[in-house]
Each structure stands twice: as C-alpha cells, then as structure tokens.
Amino acid sequence: MSAAALVSIALLGAFVGLVVPSVSWRFATADARPPAFPGPRPIRRQWVDPMVATSVFVGLAVAVGDDPALPVFLAVAAVGLVLARVDLACLRLPDPLVLAAGLLACGGLTAAALLSGTAGRLLGALGGAIVAAAAHVLLALLPGSRLGFGDVKLAAVLGLPLGWLGRDALLAGLLLPHLLHGGLVLGLLAARRVRRHTLLPLGPALLVGAWLAVLLD
C-alpha cells in the first residue's frame, strides 16, 4: 500500500473518530445505565476518539493491505467504534448498529469475492460467522453465564471478516476477546474498582480482540 493511500485512510479514521461520540450518544441515551455498572467517566478530551479511530484504521490498512475487502474491514470498524462506546455507556449493543455492521460485512464481502473471483473466501467468511455464533451461543447457555445475546450477534458479525482471512484469524478472534476481558476483570477486582457480581461490557473486548486478530494474522 502506498504512503498516500495510508495517509488517506488515516485521515478517514480521524474523521470517523470525530463523528463517533455524537452518533454513539444518540444510541446510549436511549437506554438508562444499570445501577450496578459504575461505567467509565465521560471522555472530555476531544482528541481521544480521533486518535483511537486513526490507530484502528491504520492498523487494519497495514494488516489487510491490498486485499479487496479492506473497505469492508474499515466500514465494520467504524460501526464497531460506535458499538464499543455505547456498550461502555449503558451495557447495550443496539440491534440496528449490529445489523448495520452485519449488512456491511455481508454485502461488502460478497462484492469483494465476486470482483476478485474468490468465492471460496466468501464461504470461509460465512463459515466464520457460523462458528463464532455457535461458540458464543454455547457460552451464553452455560450456567451462570453473563454473556448476552447482543454479544452473540456481534461475535457472529465479526466472524465474517475473520473467516474471510482464514482459520488462524478466526481462532485468534474467538480466543483473544475472552483473554482480554478476563484479564480486565481480574485487574478491576484486584484494584477493588468492581465487585464480583458487577456487570461489565463484553462488546469492546470482542471488537478489540477481533482487531488484534487481524493485525496478528
């Protein structure tokens, strides 16, 4: 990928980061924050969201490179940034946002497969969504599980681009979120920031884990 293309993607990420707070606020205010969830303090530094979004976009551009599905990864990441903010604010993954990410992934990957003549990769993407959904349904049905079906639906959506990349990326994308979330929970418990039964959002960990899986692929 050329330096000019990388700079353009970085600028696009910065723009997305500027829009994310206002979009996420519209969804977050539709739900009251559960009293048991202490939640993060509002981010007042306006440069944080653009910096995060730029890092996410540049990381994907470097990792995915000239793959015809790169625009799909960026589009899903843009919606994911909004989802992460909403989940942190009110422990919700709104269905319209998850559906939008799923439609972008399905439509975009289908177009990429047709244009590049790689129908097999589309089958891999669909298989990734099925595997991710099935694994998280099983986790959600375990006794005492706090995994919500919003998390299951998001995992299925993220399984599409991960499955497009292949088995290794999919496996990493299934494992890393739970390692990250588990480590965070243990750290917060050790610091006495939360209690044992405090509900914590899994959506951000699913998204960060999927991003890391792409970078490590």
d(CA 159, CA 174): 8
State which amino acid sits at residue 187: G
Give residue 38's pLDDT band: very low, low, confident or very high (50, 70, 90).
very low
pLDDT at site 45: 67
d(CA 96, CA 87): 14
Share the mean pLDDT of the chain.
Answer: 90
Could you give the number of structural domains in the chain?
1
Q: What is the per-residue pLDDT across 75-116, written as a single tens digit (0 to 9) for each?
A: 999 999 999 999 998 899 999 999 999 999 999 999 999 999
DSSP state of 98: H
Q: Mind giving me the DSSP string for 27-95?
A: HHTTSPPPTT---PPP---TTHHHHHHHHHHHHHHHHHTT-TTHHHHHHHHHHHHHHHHHHHHHS---H
Domain with 180 in it: 3-216
Q: In Å, how far from its chain's centre is CA 123? A: 21
What's the predicted TM-score (pTM) here? 0.90
d(CA 42, CA 133): 32
Quick check: helix, strand or coil at residue 125?
helix
DSSP state of 68: T
Radius of gyration of the chain (CA): 17
Give residue 145's pLDDT band: very low, low, confident or very high (50, 70, 90).
confident
